[in-house]
Amino acid sequence: MKFCLIDAGIFIDKPELLDPLRAIGEVEVFNGIPAGTEEVIDRAGDADVIAFGLMQFTEEMLDALPKLKVLQFIGTGMWNFVNVDYAESKGIRVLNIDGYGSNAVAEFATAMALSLAKNIPPADRVLKEDRWTIDGLMGKEIKGSTVGVVGTGSIGRLSAEKFAALGAEVIACDIYESEYLKENYNIQYKSMKEVFMEADIVTLHMKVTEENERIIDHKLLSLMKKDALLINVARAELVNTEDLYKALISGNLAGAAIDVYDSEPPTARDYQLAQLKNVIATPHIGYYTQEANDNSIKMAVSSILASL
């Protein structure tokens, strides 16, 4: 049996994590995204199992891999990278992993909120530009503020805990309410509209569905306080990018922190948003910690073995 990590070399800094696969077959590891179908065939044309973390699989690529039995995404949200229905129609099992980086992303959301609230990026730029001034750099404290957590799955729950530990009043929105959060942190669940109206900071932790795609639009953004902050380390598709851009340049929203984009690498429109002075923009690194990285490989290997 042959296993191919077609683009995941960047994740493999501990080769021993792949030993369970080596025990039952041949393992090949490649760096970088294949340039097209021909390179996909060169790397993995004879593979029974392909693991991937970065690339988009087209239907043409799937057609060119007749031996393929399992396609393992080293992450969450495989539907954004491959047409799962088409793959399964060809007898290819498409697998996902969940929870490997929940704490990493929750910590990142908290760090983003703190950085925005304390004006850390612009303060850093002041000194890098050989200037000494505190003009425009007055920050806000998380303690005593209201933080709205939209989506309280594993990442949202951990985010709520961290903001509560900082002394914030946490409110939440989710169709499935967490009894744990209500009982242990006195968190109140409210409507989406109420969360956007009341929160000083809104942090997004929803999965994208047909019902909530682009749900964060002009109507919701216009409800926010003018000094409020929006954090999106979930999925870009939750937010109407044009409406967010307009809210930020008009002064109707004080700032935003963004780690996810409609297209990755971003389009010119996303770069335009990222370059605003009241925006912190990062290249989708919320999950990217040593601990989460190791967890992702361990979980992907276990998922592959279980599928076989």
User: What does the pLDDT profile of the chain (308 residues) look like in tens digits?
Assistant: 999 999 988 788 889 999 999 999 999 999 999 999 999 999 999 999 999 998 999 999 999 999 999 999 998 888 889 999 999 999 999 999 999 999 999 999 999 999 999 999 999 999 999 999 999 999 999 999 999 999 999 999 999 999 999 999 999 999 999 999 999 999 999 999 999 999 999 999 998 888 999 999 999 999 999 999 999 999 999 999 999 999 999 999 999 999 999 988 888 889 999 999 999 999 999 999 999 999 999 999 999 999 99
Q: Which residues contact 5 (CB under 8 A, 6 or more apart)?
A: 11, 12, 18, 27, 28, 29, 30, 50, 51, 52
- Whole-Å CA distances, 78 to 53, 150, 166, 200: 9, 22, 34, 33
The closest alpha carbon to 78, from 50, 105, 103, belongs to: 50
Residues with catalytic roles: 235, 264, 284
Q: Which residues contact 141 (CB under 8 A, 6 or more apart)?
A: 117
Q: CA–CA separation, 282 vs 30, rounded Å? A: 25
Q: CA–CA separation, 77 vs 98, rounded Å? A: 9
Strand partners, 73: 52
CB atoms within 10 A of CB 285: 12
Q: Which domains does the chain show, CATH number per domain?
A: 2-97+289-307 (3.40.50.720), 102-281 (3.40.50.720)
